[in-house]
A and B are shown apart, each in its own frame.
Chain A
Amino acid sequence: MKNQANPWLTSNLLVLGLGMLPAAVLIGALLYFTAWAFAFSFTDLALVGKKSVEWSWVGLQNFERLFTRKGFLESLWTTVIFVFFSAIVGQSVLGFLLAALLRGTQSTLRSVVEVCIMLGWLLPDIVAAFLWSATTNQTGLINAIFVVPFGFKPINFINEYALPIVTIANIWKGTAWSYLLFSAALDSVSREVVEAAKVDGATPFQRIWLVQLPIIRPHIATNMLFITIWTFTYFPLIYAMTGGGPGTQTQTLAVFLYNQSFSRGNLGFGSAISVAMLVIVGLLSLVYLRMLREPK
């Protein structure tokens, strides 16, 4: 957009600048706090006790501990599994399928399904955790419908299959976002293109795979970027459902970070974990942003 000579803008630069001021102050604060979070990762700052006041710089010690002590690498692996199955496989694929299937259906069915999926997304994290704990415990819905009527003993799913259950709960909660985004994206694909493909004899599968998917590629990349990052740092649902347990089975990096920082009070080590998470997330984002930029 060339807009060098727009008099209503150029004659009001001062006003526009003043308008940006509050945001600039708040962004400045954000940068300042982030810088401190970085700085803390090189200290032995603690939440309580002597080291909460008389902390000292310890160089790269915290970062060495990430790799030499138990915890970080295990949590990283748990996080990768959780993100891959709940966000990339579960939410994205399911969201896209729903968007593609519902596109052609009549409006009542579409509204009903939409509302049902949205309910999960709109539910506050703590409530969703509460709900899923109740659904998957020994007297819960899954046992009452699928296990007990067939003569099996009730299974305490939340204890025995903690990671899969948390993953399913997150798919249940998050699919709506992918669905909405893909649905809006598919609406932006012009009908003529799809019709033309149909006239040329493309099957429904080909129409989606070869025509619509390439067109909405930027949306796919954006969606992946957002949900990967959100899931990577997602905390309340897992924490309220399992607290990271049993043992450390569901201890994703976000839960590990919280436990280290606020349960054990190792703020310095906790900051090192969050810096490491930022680096990982940053690298992932670069990959997705390349996907977004490439076709022009």
Chain B
Amino acid sequence: MDTGPSRLTAIALCFMAVIWVSPFSWLLLNAFNPLSTGQLAWPERFGLDNFGMAVSGNAGRQFLNSMIIAAGTATLSVVVGISAAYPLSRLRIPGRNAFLWTLVLLRMLPSAGVLVPLYFAAQRSGLLNQLGVIIALTVLNLPFTLLLLKNFFDTVPIELEEAAYVEGASLFQIITKIVLPMSRAGIAVVWFFSFTGAWNEFLLPLIFARVQDAFPMSVGLYAAFGQQGAINYGFLTAFSIIYAAPAVGVYFLLRRNMNTGFAGVGVKG
């Protein structure tokens, strides 16, 4: 670029970044302070004692639960989504766009609204467990997943598929060798959204998980506010950091894909 940003802009941006991360200071100072009191203060000594507490016993179990729910939901959503979105993108099914948008709008129903019938259905079919949470979250995710994946498949030029067919490729080969690799960025975005969505989900597991063994971290953290009388800030802050880490980590793993993938979100209605 010939017109670099003025120095002033750069300083303003740096300032902004500092403001943005400043709330984390409290989280870090307390998590690494074994004698934490929940105040914003420089620790007398740093230590990892809090993290030790936050990975053992119940807390470790909750981490595993969250991982199962999030990875399960993301993978199920993407697999179900792909196998339906490809036909939706390629076959001229009348009214498919209107249908997908209607579904997305329907999903705007606050999830507390569909929670009640969902709960009754899960109770009847014995799915008040992690599998139930995974299926329920996939159901709730699917309209977005379908719409986004269909939009990404629409951007794969059909000429490539024609050429492959002429060369003798089967439908399966066309999909696995051409369509999927070319929409890799989009699939990564959808997987990531489903993963973080399920990882963060609070309300659904709160109502589905009946025993403490089945709590994911979101419910565990909420429940730990004010447990055993006094709040143990050191434990809570360390637990928060561990809870936040995977979503942040997955994002940075997929970052390159994400930025390309985002371009597809707004392109077509």
Contacts and interface: CB of A to CB of B under 8 A. Distances in A.
Interface of A: 1, 3-4, 6-9, 12-13, 15-17, 19-20, 22-24, 26-27, 29-34, 36-37, 40, 45, 98, 101-102, 104-106, 109, 112-113, 116-120, 122-127, 130-132, 134-135, 139-141, 144, 172, 180-181, 183-185, 187-188, 204, 216, 218-219, 222-223, 229, 232-233, 235-236, 240, 253-254, 257-258, 261-262, 267, 270-271, 273-275, 277-278, 281-282, 285, 289, 292-293
B113 A274 contact: yes
A117 B20 contact: yes
Given A8-B174, A116-B20, A254 B158 contact: no
A107 to B, nearest CB: 11
Contacts of B80: 22-23, 26
B69 interface: no
A33 B117 contact: yes
B3 A104 contact: yes
A127 B244 contact: yes
B200 A124 contact: yes
B1 A261 contact: no
Nearest to B1: A104
Which of B10, B25, B87, B174 has the most A CB atoms < 10 Å from its CB? B87
A9 B4 contact: no
A119 B21 contact: yes
Nearest to B89: A1
A16 B142 contact: no
A9 B116 CA distance: 41
A144 B22 CA distance: 12
Interface in B215-269: 217-218, 221-222, 225, 236, 240, 243-244, 247-248, 251, 258-260, 262-263, 265-267, 269
Given A40-B116, A135-B23, 6 more contacts: A20-B83, A33-B139, A106-B4, A180-B262, A184-B262, A275-B109
Contacts of B10: 105, 109
Contacts of A222: 265-266, 269
A52 to B, nearest CB: 10
Interface stretch (B46-54, B56-64, B100-108): B100-108
A102 B92 CA distance: 41
Given A6-B158, A37-B117, A123-B244, A109 B14 contact: yes
7 contacts: A33-B139, A37-B117, A113-B14, A123-B248, A127-B244, A140-B26, A293-B269
